Structure 1
Amino acid sequence: MAATGHYLATAAAYRILEQGGNATDAGVAAGIVINVTLPQYTSFGGVAPIMVHDAARGETATIAGLGRWPKAASVDYFNANHGGVLPGGVLRTVTPSAADAWLSAIQLYGTMTFEQVVAPALELAEKGFPIPHSLHRALAREEDKFSNGSRDPRHWSATMEVFFPGGKALGTGDVAIQKDLANTFKRLVSAERSASGRGRVMGLQAARDLFYRGDMAHKMVEFNRAQGGLLSLEDMATFEAKLEPPVSIDYKGIEVFTCGPWCQGPTTIQALGILSGFDLQGMGHNSPDYLHTVIESLKLAFADRHSYYGDPDFVDVPMKGLLDPDYAAQRRQEIDSTRACPDMPRAGDPHAYQAYNGQNGNRAKPAHPEPVVGAAEPDTSYICVVDQWGNGFSATPSDGIGGAAVVPGLGFAMSTRGYQTWLDPDHPACLMPGKRPRLTPNPAMAFRDGKLWMPFGTPGGDVQCQSMTQLFLNVVEFGMDVQQAIEQPRVASWSFPDSGFPHGYTPAAMSAEGRIDPDTIRELERRGHVVEVWDDWTPRMGALNAITIDREKETLEVGADLRRDNYAMGR
């Protein structure tokens, strides 16, 4: 079974499964197709956080497909040269990480070669695919930036050539052909073949070396530097998409895994830990009591995210304490069932719930935030796969062509994920040379009786953990199948600083899809929530995919979100 953010990516995953590949082979194939077919959301030079479950090994791991700040970047640099602001564009560039994440995944947990898994994406890049209306709309929004002269045509020529021929965005039904990207895939395949006599792993390493140490690395660095960027060949050569353990909680006998605090993933399980102590079923699905409790629990988790989450290579994140059931119980007591917290709650103190030694950082916290106006940033996509052996794959690739120019001759944009960084030296996600920004994309998996039960995830920036929490509760607490769970109307809080610079923050703000009962909205407003009603089925609430495994019946169920172009396939 496979479900992804684009029907051609789902078809690619299924094709690989039919050819005998496992979930990781299929997931990587789908991910690279997503890089081709959803260029507004993702890039082969972007980010790709991955979670893999290997059933035979009994192993669940994450691959931190997230780039690092160049060694030349620092808070002092931006204070001295840009007035304490992270300007849009090239200065937000971190090392491209998706390529290494895809290659590392198939090296560690796959069975196929890069040549095999990239074949569907190579065909689509070389021969083209028809532009759906959703991509046309995204390109049309970007077109205005070219017409108003805010982009230097010297640097955006490769983007213009593919997606804006004649200065106009490709229309719905037009065929997008990406010859440079196809050639990049061919060159990586050729590098792999050149070392194939030494085995599959060495072939994959040869492809990786071409990207991070060879001619491709030189082209990326030269292009970045020509625009005033800070990336160096050393930054590229020393980058590694690290294999890291996931973090987890037990929710009423179901173990839920996310990536670590280098992303926002633990927010989901922190919120679930708080919610586990409430009688949610007794409140009733999407009732005022239920939605108020969900929103207030999420706000507590986001408050801890703001004060504690950051790259654990640089920051001591008290993860054990944050996920401790007793800490969740303490946070639960802070919720007023009749009144919304008027702003972001204060962070808790998880250190009392773990042995804390403070070796790699201090316990300074950022100042409580003031309201800030911010704009929505480009979005993301999602992939999940389960194979016949019970292996699972869950990934949330991101970083499209809106944030950075396509590199001439290579056909992809480099990650500008640096925008999810703070310049406050007391913030755990503060910029430092070589440090990873705190990432919003965050795949997840849930397990029953020690066996994979449900990979799930969504795009949507700061909405991701909120939509994922509601999906999980719809299935576990209210007995819905995953498609029903995905189609339920959703809500989201904005009463915390946005992950993207300048970190917009609107105290007490929340959003609700228009299908939420108007009387429920009025009651939430009476309790102090400032509610904005969105469209009935809005992509702003994300685009969930999930697969569940019924071990007794030996069946799979899948759900794909109709809020975007998601598609599911299986047998």
Structure 2
Amino acid sequence: MLLRPELHGTHGAVSSTHWLASAAGMAMLDRGGNAFDAATAAAFVIQVVEPHLNGPGGDAPILVHDAADGRVEVICGQGPMPAAATLDAFRQRGLDTVPGSGLLAACVPGAFGAWMTLLRDRGRLRVEDVLLPAIGYAEDGYPLLPRAAEMIGVMAPLFRDEWTESGRTYLDHGTAPAAGSRMRNPALGRTFRRILAEARAAGPGREAQAEAARAAFYQGFVAEAVDRYLATGEAVDATGRRNGGLLTGEDLAGWRPPVETPASFDYRGHLVHKAGPWSQGPVFLQQLALLEGFDLTAMGYGSADHLHTVVEAAKLAYADREAWYGDPAHADVPLAALLDRDYAAKRRELIGPAASGALRPGSPDGRRPYVPECLDRSGAPTGPDWLSQLHNGIPTVLLRTAAKGDTTCVTATDREGNMVVSTPSGGWLKSSPVVPGLGFPLGTRGQMAWLAEGHPNVLAPGKRPRTTLSPTLVLKEGRPYLAFGTPGGDQQDQWTLHFLLNHIDFGMAPQRATEATTFHTDHVPTSFTPRQSRPLTLVAEQGFDRAVLEELGHRGHEVREVPAQTLGKVCATGVDGDGGVVAAASPRGGQAYAVVR
């Protein structure tokens, strides 16, 4: 039985990880905007109402299908490392990894520029139209989510004693707010209002306004505030020491979001698009290339063969991620070879009847893979609870929550066939202090870069760290079909893969595909510090047949059950077979909502 209905409409569809964001997106469609306006407004609302998972200082890869020209493009909202981010800069501090918290891991904030680029080039509404809903929630307040309240409560001592600007932003007279209480961020409201004023001053045109807003952020008062703070400021981070940052106003001023051609793979007549290897997106495509050689439908959804085959394919694809992915502008990534069907066929032969515990990257084009030593220092440091939280770079309150929710998602489709999806993340409240006067912290995406020479993802000035953020856009017969994503860090390209397989191979409609019992492997090291891994673990939601789980145990999997409906929050929009639109949102967590009209 479905927990939520299958949603179909004729005007437009919006789905996101927060109901207020979905409502804001639909309001843009009602004002005459298109899917790009809707997604932009929803994304800015999410920056306000999910501050524990993202913010203006974070990142946002955006996949776009423009009905006007039929093209699919990627707007890269992943900013690069600062010019001063060299291996020596970290070694001189006695570090062999980039800390997952504090100021050292800050990259150029990419989200704002990416959304303004989308609005400028493809939207119909003005900056004020898409920004005013977020300003309203920042100034007038919104109900604080339980996970956000829990996180603020755990971090409150740090906010009171060390990250005092975070204390002014998130605490109420030094006290952590309760779940459901009205949360305001007047400093962020003022930041957005000042950006809006500068946009209006550029004239009535959308393009000029969007460009002025972008300039205010990257070359104006926002960049100046970041530069001023990091020039002298220091903050306690995962090392337990106070460290300054490397990011400067010059780094922001010199950056513009690239617009790129996506990676793609045709799976059973569905052309699937992902961001390039500066994201983990191609790992989704590699899994499809491996799985197209199996008859999943004949195996049956939820069978031991189904779960085993998909998990073993994921291990192989993710192993290649570890060895080969990185910013292709700075590294020679053999992407074409990794997505080649002959390469996949050879790799497919490694999927045997028993679970593998070995990390087995391949040799595309005959190259020798290199995976740096995994420095898993998962033992929590001694000290206050907040220090153990800083030690882990994910935005989750450790040991208190079963689910991983370290990202957000926004997707929209309109009746013209415009389609867009993004997984905004980074700049969350747990891992970095709020920049004075701005109302938001910087991101910590730099933690995903290696300090290992010779690796495609080695840290370097001006280079994008390989991110986990991974939205998906699918065409069918050359026409828009589905756009979807999920929170979940490294698991994003497992949970969304299951959604697509549920739909294509097992015939589930989108909403049912989001609600189906799911699973993943923790085989490869996480991209977040401290890079933990559990090579044979198969994590499964309750709901699979007991005999299936026992059979998986016999095959060598270490099965760990978690409560039902706790893995992922897939959000999807697209078109249906009658020329209308469709939307779906996972009920997991109780906050992702889809809207159609």
- Normalised by the shorter chain, which TM-score bucket? over 0.9
Deviations 1:517-570 (A, max 9, x none): 2222221121111222111121xx22101123123x123332111112101111
CA contact (8 A) 2:393 2:530 kept: no
Q: What is the aligned partner in structure 1 of residue 402 from structure 2? A: none
* Identical-pair percentage: 38
Is 1:549 matched with 2:575?
yes
Q: 167-176 or 135-144: which moved more?
A: 135-144
CA contact (8 A) 2:362 2:369 kept: no
Unaligned runs of 5+ in 2: 1-12, 235-243, 380-391, 396-405
Number of equivalent positions = 550
Deviations 1:398-429 (A, max 9, x none): 11111111112111111111111111113211
Is 1:483 matched with 2:511?
yes
Q: What is the aligned partner in structure 2 of residue 431 from structure 1? A: 459
Q: 262-271 or 406-415: which moved more?
A: 406-415
Q: What is the aligned partner in structure 2 of residue 366 from structure 1? A: 371
2:112 maps to amino acid: A
CA contact (8 A) 1:50 1:64 kept: yes
| TM-score normalised by structure 1 residue count | 0.93
Q: What is the aligned partner in structure 2 of residue 134 from structure 1? A: 147
- The offset of 1:200, in angstroms, is 2.7
Deviations 1:93-114 (A, max 9, x none): 1111111011111112212221
Q: What is the aligned partner in structure 2 of residue 177 from structure 1? A: 184
| TM-score normalised by structure 2 residue count | 0.89
User: What is the alpha-carbon distance in structure 2 between the residues aligned to residue 415 and residue 86 of structure 1?
Assistant: 13
1:186 maps to amino acid: R
Q: What is the aligned partner in structure 2 of residue 350 from structure 1? A: 364
User: What is the alpha-carbon distance in structure 1 between the residues aligned to residue 337 and residue 290 of structure 2?
Assistant: 13
Q: Is the partner of 2:588 in helix, strand or coil?
A: coil
Is 1:341 matched with 2:369?
no
Q: What is the aligned partner in structure 2 of residue 357 from structure 1? A: none
CA contact (8 A) 1:136 1:172 kept: yes
Q: What is the aligned partner in structure 2 of residue 234 from structure 1? A: 250
Any residues of structure 2 matched to 1:259-270 within 5 Å, and which?
259-270=275-286
- The offset of 1:371, in angstroms, is 6.5
User: What is the alpha-carbon distance in structure 2 between the residues aligned to residue 229 and residue 548 of structure 1?
Assistant: 42
User: What is the alpha-carbon distance in structure 2 between the residues aligned to residue 404 and residue 195 of structure 1?
Assistant: 33
- Residue of 91, 96, 99 corresponding to 2:104: 91
2:586 maps to amino acid: D
Q: What is the aligned partner in structure 1 of residue 4 from structure 2? A: none
User: What is the alpha-carbon distance in structure 2 between the residues aligned to residue 368 and residue 334 of structure 1?
Assistant: 23
User: What is the alpha-carbon distance in structure 2 between the residues aligned to residue 141 and residue 283 of structure 1?
Assistant: 45
- The offset of 1:390, in angstroms, is 0.8
Any residues of structure 2 matched to 1:4-23 within 5 Å, and which?
4-23=16-35
CA contact (8 A) 1:196 1:203 kept: yes
- The offset of 1:516, in angstroms, is 2.1
CA contact (8 A) 1:421 1:501 kept: no
User: What is the alpha-carbon distance in structure 2 between the residues aligned to residue 63 and residue 472 of structure 1?
Assistant: 23
Any residues of structure 2 matched to 1:68-83 within 5 Å, and which?
68-83=80-95
Q: What is the aligned partner in structure 1 of residue 394 from structure 2? A: 377
Deviations 1:440-462 (A, max 9, x none): 11111111100110001101001
User: What is the alpha-carbon distance in structure 2 between the residues aligned to residue 369 and residue 137 of structure 1?
Assistant: 30
User: What is the alpha-carbon distance in structure 2 between the residues aligned to residue 440 and residue 186 of structure 1?
Assistant: 31
Q: Is the partner of 1:512 in helix, strand or coil?
A: strand
Any residues of structure 2 matched to 1:380-391 within 5 Å, and which?
380-391=407-418
Q: Moved runs in structure 1, 4+ residues, more than 3 A?
A: 144-147, 367-376
CA contact (8 A) 2:97 2:447 kept: no
Any residues of structure 2 matched to 1:38-77 within 5 Å, and which?
38-77=50-89
User: What is the alpha-carbon distance in structure 2 between the residues aligned to residue 315 and residue 278 of structure 1?
Assistant: 33
1:559 maps to amino acid: A
Q: Is the partner of 1:515 in helix, strand or coil?
A: coil
Residues 489 and 318 of structure 1: CA distance in aligned 2, closer, same or farther (over 3 Å):
same
CA contact (8 A) 2:423 2:469 kept: yes
Is 1:278 matched with 2:303?
no
- Residue of 431, 436, 442 corresponding to 1:408: 436
Q: What is the aligned partner in structure 1 of residue 40 from structure 2? A: 28
Q: What is the aligned partner in structure 2 of residue 359 from structure 1? A: none
Q: Is the partner of 2:355 in helix, strand or coil?
A: coil
Deviations 1:274-311 (A, max 9, x none): 10110101111011111000000001100110111101
Q: What is the aligned partner in structure 2 of residue 325 from structure 1? A: 341
